[in-house]
Amino acid sequence: MAFRTTTRTEKVRSYYGTHLPQAEIQEDHNKNTTMSQYYSSLKRFVEFYFSSNQDIAPAESERQKNVVLKYCKMNWRRIGRSEDPDREDEAVQILLKIQPIHITRWLNKVAYNSIEPGPQDHPSHARANTLKAHKRALSYYMPRRGETWDWNAARGNPTKSPAISKLIDRVETAENKGHGADACDTRAFTSTEFRLILDRAREKVMTRDKVQCYSHPAFLLLQYHLDARLDDVSLLETSEFRPYPKNSGVLQVSIRSSKNIHKRTDWHWQCITGSMSSHECMLIGLASYVGFFDNEDDLKLYPNRVTERSEGETKKEPTLPGFFRLRASKRWSKASVRNRLKTIISSLKLVGILSTHSVRKFSTETMQNAKVCRDASDQRGRWKTIKVNKKSRASNIYHMSFLRFLDIEACQGLCASGMCRYVVDSLTDALISEIMPATKEVIPGIGRILCAAALWAYKNERNLLPNSLILRIEKVGSQLLPVKRIRIIGDDEDFVDYNQDVHETVTQSEDREIINKIYIEQGSLKRKLDADSEKMWGEFKKLRKGMKQINSRVDRVILYHTNVTSTPSSGQNTEMYNCSSLHEYWLEYEFGINGHKSVKTFSTSEKRKYKDKICLRMKLITAVKLLLPHSPAVLACERLERVYKFDGRKSACLREIGKELKMQPPLPKYFEMYPM
């Protein structure tokens, strides 16, 4: 069977059955991405449901169909997340009328091309997985999707009826007997095919290939060693690499953007070692890719990069680049990776249906052939394993969610020729920055591991390295440094029995002891400072009280010398006095002038009569109150007149004072001329 490219139309036909009309395929191309990913299945079922319903007039049937489709297309989040089935809405009431027999007939039409297949008919138009996908999609839109179907009450979720499950089981049984539709899933690569693909990926495949000749092999090797999907490696960040704390020549990688990662216990740091086969060595592949870049910022981390964007429920790629990129600011899209691999497979004329997922299947089969246990394989691929009554088992809190020895076992199974690490004793940080300047943006320690792998490849497999990296190695003379490749034994207890929590606790114990001493000294200093502050606050309150008494005495003396009298408030004149100085404004506010009532005792109606004048003069009053703790009112008013030039410009002076009161700190001109 020759390799062929699976088109979008063929994928849609394989998913929905071979009888899908061409118009629906074209509509699938142009569908709105803001709708749910399950909408296309619902649309096909609703059209079948109303076309087969003979109890409704054609015009009314068309109207109801449009009502349901419009409602589900625009309100898919509400239906999918706790829709109220009893609300007075026509579309919801129509959805509640759907019975299991309607869904069964439609699935028969999809699989058998007949709503009532006979014993001689075979499900040659769709596979059981296709029917399961349709069942899940329809269940998403059912108003009572959390309820099982009750035959007596005729209510609940019709997709949970036993009749539909039995139909899917019959289709699956027919497939096992060779009477079902042809499978369209991809197969795994063989070890020979994977080596050929790696060698071809290191050559120029596309017209504009540059960094792809080194990034693609590293991409494929990382996907293989982590048993990862295309999405997992594409969304990988620069910060998700670190050296293995127990062994300086081993890397650790964490995949946090996988679709199975929902909480903290779902992701872990997984080990990546070198391989005794240079062409399949992960460390040499990464060193070639990182060493291709000449600038320090070429692999910089974008903190605001969103690793998962959504439009509706359709996942979108981030616009900013991750670890694998074409340039410093240009990402390497999943489509580009997929197309390059497709071109390589076509050029090698490999048989069967192959895709990027074939790498993950090949990784899993390699671990199985190496007799790696199922638990280690599941942990390496970050699969969700099924456990009985997992939440009800009290012992779960005492068991570790990640077992290091299983990770090492899987890593050893993926390195068929053996695990290794590279050691260069005289490698300094200055040499690392000269050989691989792009490692400046990664976690410290990564550059040393990759430089050691690059120096070993320079002496033994120079054709695996880019010319720019070779020139930098020769420029600094680092090719003269002795390099060793050391085999790693997976059963080494010192290597396997590494506990990250214990390691961090031991290494940080001395630092914690010093920090505790600092905390004790800091506490004593704080208590002493609080006592001094309380004492100073008491002295300040006494001083402020004395200043208020002095200010009141000075104001009384001025009133006496200016022949200003103050009479009882009853029967006082409430007219505003025509003041000729800022201090008279203050006296008018506090005490009143020439028998006038003090402004601060005005009633609301009296203030409203002169609100414009009072609002303007209150700017001065606020400034004087601010300065009273530092100087008497008369002195403060005199200084304000000098600073803000009161003569001949009363309103302008007051407005300027009000403007500077809003600044931080207030009255900057005043304090610049008269500092405290």
What residues does 274 pair with on adjacent strands? 420
The reported pLDDT for the residue numbered 554 is: 58
CB-side exposure of 454: number of CA atoms within 13 Å? 33
| Residue 169: both structure tokens together | 């089981």
| Residue 108: both structure tokens together | 């028969």
3-state secondary structure 232-288: HHHCCCHHHEEECCCCCCCEEECCCCCCCCCCHHHCCCEEECEECCHHHCHHHHHHH
The reported pLDDT for the residue numbered 283 is: 94
What residues does 488 pair with on adjacent strands? 419
What residues does 316 pair with on adjacent strands? 309
Q: How many CB atoms lie within 10 A of CB 134?
A: 28
The residue length of the chain stands at 676
* 492: nearest Cα among 601, 430, 429, 411: 411
What residues does 270 pair with on adjacent strands? 253
Q: How many CB atoms lie within 10 A of CB 145?
A: 19
- Give the C-alpha separation, 19 to 25, whole Å: 11
b/e per residue 388-407 (b: at least 16 CB within 10 A): eeeeeeeeeeeeeeeebebb
Angle, alpha carbons 193-198-199 (nearest 5°):
100
- Give the C-alpha separation, 155 to 152, whole Å: 8
Largest CA distance in the chain: 124
The reported pLDDT for the residue numbered 84 is: 54
3-state secondary structure of 368: helix
Under 8 Å CB-to-CB from 462, ≥6 apart: which residues?
A: 470
**Block residue for tokens 């002038």:** 593
Under 8 Å CB-to-CB from 574, ≥6 apart: which residues?
A: 596, 597, 602, 606, 609
Residue pair 322/307 in contact by the 8 Å Cβ criterion: yes
- Give the C-alpha separation, 15 to 57, whole Å: 32
* 354: nearest Cα among 6, 9, 14: 6
Q: How many CB atoms lie within 10 A of CB 233?
A: 26
The reported pLDDT for the residue numbered 580 is: 79
By the 10 Å C-beta count (0-12 exposed, 13-18 middle, 19+ buried), 533 is classed as: exposed
The reported pLDDT for the residue numbered 566 is: 42
| Residue 274: both structure tokens together | 């070198």
- Give the C-alpha separation, 161 to 150, whole Å: 8
Domain assignments of the chain as residue spans, ordered by start: 8-176, 191-302+312-384+401-507, 562-673
Give the CATH fold of the 191-302+312-384+401-507 domain. hpI Integrase; Chain A (1.10.443)
The reported pLDDT for the residue numbered 225 is: 94
| Measured distance between the N- and C-terminal CA atoms of the chain, rounded to whole angstroms | 93
Q: What are the average pLDDT values for consecutive 10-residue runs of the chain, which has 676 residues?
A: 39 39 38 59 92 86 90 67 58 88 94 90 91 91 87 89 93 91 88 95 90 95 93 88 80 81 77 92 94 91 67 63 90 92 94 92 93 88 60 54 83 91 88 90 87 93 93 87 87 53 51 71 80 86 78 55 45 69 85 80 85 86 87 87 81 88 88 84
In 461-505, the DSSP E strands lie at: 484-488
Under 8 Å CB-to-CB from 438, ≥6 apart: which residues?
A: 290, 291, 293, 294, 295, 296, 298, 299
**This prediction's pTM:** 0.63
| Residue 158: both structure tokens together | 């019709």
Run of H or E residues at 412: helix 404-414
- Give the C-alpha separation, 278 to 456, whole Å: 10
